[in-house]
Structure 1
Amino acid sequence: MAFEKVKEIIKESPAFTQLTDLAAERLGGKVLYATDDFFAEKENLIAPTRGIFITDKYTDRGKWMDGWESRRKRTPGHDWAVIQLATSGKITGFDIDTNFFLGNHPPHASIEAVNLESTEGITDWDNVAWKEILPKSHLDAGSQNFYECASDEIFTHLRLHIYPDGGVARFRVYGEVFKNWDAVSTSESIDLAAAINGGQAIACNDMFFSAMSNLIMPNRGANMGDGWETKRNRTPNNRDWVILKLAHQGLVDRIVVDTCHFKGNYPDSCSIEACHSATDNLENADWQMLLPQQKLNADFIHEFENKINKGQVITHVRLNIFPDGGVSRLRIFGKIVR
């Protein structure tokens, strides 16, 4: 199935879109260069959410568009942009999203990749040892164009080519974070759940208002939408939950539960369970209490150390909230166990 376009199903995306977006701006991705971004800035490519459209919004260069858009090309060649991933990783799939680009989308795109230790001194991106990981492929207008990646190599930078010109709203690069754990000391305390280290949100019972993956993003939440929020539940004694896969097995010594921006809708309380599993199939997992049920406050950073049941080597955690509501960030600090 290498390079075969993944069929879009209504209200359903390919499984790889549940992986980490390695290029995401909020994770630390950057757009380093574009041959042309006359109509719309290259940085929009990796912004959060899908692109929007504002009917009557114009700039002094033309129609305002929420994406990267080059001018109409009147010379030979095509346009391209260089993206630095937030962290090195193995890529599973792409979403080249032309949302709202209808009469001005590129009909084709291709992608190259490279693994660079540093970009210092690079002035000519054409002389980099790029490797093609998606051949020239068709793009539909106003659509999420999903493609799988057949390479299992580790990359740090991508070059998105569009043929010959036009606009792309967003560029998503889904895959798995690569971190050299041999370089991490077993005495160093790190956030074992952080997406930038390779942590993943793998399951939850509800994310009606906002996605579970927000819990493990860097920094504090930008707003109430930048967290994990469930719908109001009227069932007595309800419990909502989310499961995180840690980046590396380890011993937990500190937990942070941040309800930033959640004021009239924060959970009354929470607890955290943990288990050790060689797989993500946790149907028969032996969950143990890591943090007994704790009262929560609105818009507040809760730090727990003494109340943690320490000493368990764990791979997964389950955050339970009672009865429902929103949590901005969850940090699971600890030391890796090799």
Structure 2
Amino acid sequence: MAVVIVDPEAPDFTRHYTNLADPRLGAEAIACSDDFFAEMSRMLSPDEPVFIPGKYDAHGKWMDGWESRRKREPGNDWCVVRLARAARIAGVDIDTRHFTGNYPPGASLEACFCKAGDPAADAVWTPLLPTVALQGNAHHYHAISSDAAWTHMRLSIYPDGGIARLRVYGRPATAHAPGSEIDLAAAINGAWVIATNNEHFGRAATLLLPGRGVNMGDGWETRRRREPGNDWCVIALAAPGIIERVEVDTAHFKGNYPDACSLQAACMTGGTEQTLITQSMFWPELLAPQKLQMDAVMGFDNLAKLSAVTHVRFNIYPDGGVSRLRLFGKVVGE
């Protein structure tokens, strides 16, 4: 069972924003100048990069990321990524883990907005991150200051080499019309996890991903609780709305699913992470504690009649793993 590795140096935007370069949300690496040694799609993998000693393929040493061949002429290599949604970007992580003698000395980022399709040859690219120095086997976090919405990113490396992962953190820029029915807890719609008390074996943010979990590692899982109480996470909804139906999916969790779950909800404006955590203990109950089953999708519509809410607290009793949480309802207004 894998343990979640948290970089203590990671800035707040990696926790408070969604990675819009995640292929599970629909992001895709669509073009690059060269990916001779390692194909560009690996750079967007949601998994932590790994190094496998002794693993080679037809082109040489297998690397977990995007890697171009050694450049023997002027210029530099680049890769274009289509984001999962048009988004406002808060920060990026250019990750060179496991690339040591083959990492690029520098990189830059540009962005563009396409109303439909992918950028044409004459697309206008706007600089988001000027050329920055890179080190081998390291994260490179950079905050982005831009209020515009972007659909595509172009990562340029100077002159060549390998990038293990590219993460692009932001908020989807899609507006939700009042009265529309959506999954208010979907990351692709703009929901995000504000805080959780524990995510030892799996990140709480995976609760908000589309589809069902592919394995037990693709879900939120807490450590075994050895003291009184229960585990929880606080979620900011994609838009203010009235929740009408709840789905809790424990896919692949069998000997470690929670015994029960409940939801509290409230309409909040402003507040810090810590104030929301504290206040959430006293939010009205939306869903009373309900028994859960292993490896199953369970639907609940016996909800309290609350007005529009913006945040929920998802409680599990006492601990365990949940793959996905869906909160279907109507948008009231943003």
TM category (shorter chain) comes to over 0.9
**Are the counterparts in 1 of residues 286 and 306 from structure 2 also a CA contact under 8 Å?**
no
- Find the counterpart in structure 2 of residue 208 from structure 1: 200
- Find the counterpart in structure 2 of residue 180 from structure 1: 175
**Matched residue of 2:145: which SS?**
coil
Q: 2:61 aligns with which of 50, 60, 63?
A: 63
Pairwise CA distance, 1:310? 2.6
- Find the counterpart in structure 2 of residue 6 from structure 1: none
- Find the counterpart in structure 2 of residue 241 from structure 1: 232
Counterpart-to-counterpart distance in 2, 1:176 and 1:119: 20
> Taking structure 2 as the reference length, what is the TM-score of the superposition?
0.94
- Find the counterpart in structure 2 of residue 323 from structure 1: 318
- Find the counterpart in structure 2 of residue 259 from structure 1: 250
- Find the counterpart in structure 1 of residue 96 from structure 2: 98
1:194-237: CA deviation from partner (whole Å, max 9, x where unpaired): 0000000111111111111000011111111111111001224x
In the superposition, relative to structure 1, how do residues 264 and 257 fare at CA in structure 2: closer, same or farther (>3 Å)? same
Q: 2:157 aligns with which of 152, 155, 162?
A: 162
Matched, 1:269 2:260: yes
Pairwise CA distance, 1:119? 2.4
Q: State the one-letter code of the partner of 2:97.
A: N
1:29-83: CA deviation from partner (whole Å, max 9, x where unpaired): 0101001000000001111122111110001111000100000001111100000
- Find the counterpart in structure 2 of residue 290 from structure 1: 286
Q: 2:82 aligns with which of 81, 84, 109?
A: 84
Counterpart-to-counterpart distance in 2, 1:170 and 1:284: 36
Counterpart-to-counterpart distance in 1, 2:18 and 2:299: 26
Pairwise CA distance, 1:150? 1.7
Matched, 1:309 2:304: yes
Counterpart-to-counterpart distance in 2, 1:167 and 1:154: 28
In the superposition, relative to structure 1, how do residues 280 and 23 fare at CA in structure 2: closer, same or farther (>3 Å)? farther
- Find the counterpart in structure 2 of residue 52 from structure 1: 50
Q: 1:299 aligns with which of 295, 302, 307?
A: 295
Q: State the one-letter code of the partner of 2:191.
A: G
**Matched residue of 1:293: which SS?**
strand
**Are the counterparts in 2 of residues 273 and 319 from structure 1 also a CA contact under 8 Å?**
yes
Structure 1: state its 5+ residue gaps: 1-8
1:1-41: CA deviation from partner (whole Å, max 9, x where unpaired): xxxxxxxx962311111110011111110101001000000
Pairwise CA distance, 1:123? 5.2
Counterpart-to-counterpart distance in 1, 2:271 and 2:316: 21
Pairwise CA distance, 1:185? 4.9
Q: State the one-letter code of the partner of 1:46.
A: L
- Find the counterpart in structure 1 of residue 330 from structure 2: 335
Q: State the one-letter code of the partner of 1:337.
A: V
**Matched residue of 2:279: which SS?**
coil
- Find the counterpart in structure 2 of residue 5 from structure 1: none
Q: 1:108 aligns with which of 106, 116, 122?
A: 106
1:272-328: CA deviation from partner (whole Å, max 9, x where unpaired): 1101101244233550110001000000100011x1113421110111111110110
Pairwise CA distance, 1:176? 1.4
Matched, 1:194 2:186: yes
Counterpart-to-counterpart distance in 2, 1:193 and 1:274: 12
**Are the counterparts in 2 of residues 228 and 327 from structure 1 also a CA contact under 8 Å?**
yes
**Matched residue of 1:142: which SS?**
coil
Q: State the one-letter code of the partner of 1:28.
A: G
Counterpart-to-counterpart distance in 2, 1:123 and 1:84: 13
**Matched residue of 1:320: which SS?**
strand
In the superposition, relative to structure 1, how do residues 255 and 280 fare at CA in structure 2: closer, same or farther (>3 Å)? farther
Pairwise CA distance, 1:168? 0.3
How many residues in Structure 1 have an aligned counterpart in Structure 2? 322
Structure 2: state its 5+ residue gaps: 1-5
> Taking structure 1 as the reference length, what is the TM-score of the superposition?
0.92
Counterpart-to-counterpart distance in 2, 1:250 and 1:16: 25
Q: State the one-letter code of the partner of 1:260.
A: A
**Are the counterparts in 2 of residues 265 and 325 from structure 1 also a CA contact under 8 Å?**
yes
Counterpart-to-counterpart distance in 1, 2:271 and 2:165: 30
**Matched residue of 1:302: which SS?**
strand
Counterpart-to-counterpart distance in 1, 2:190 and 2:93: 20
**Are the counterparts in 1 of residues 178 and 332 from structure 2 also a CA contact under 8 Å?**
no
**Are the counterparts in 2 of residues 50 and 99 from structure 1 also a CA contact under 8 Å?**
no
**Matched residue of 2:261: which SS?**
strand
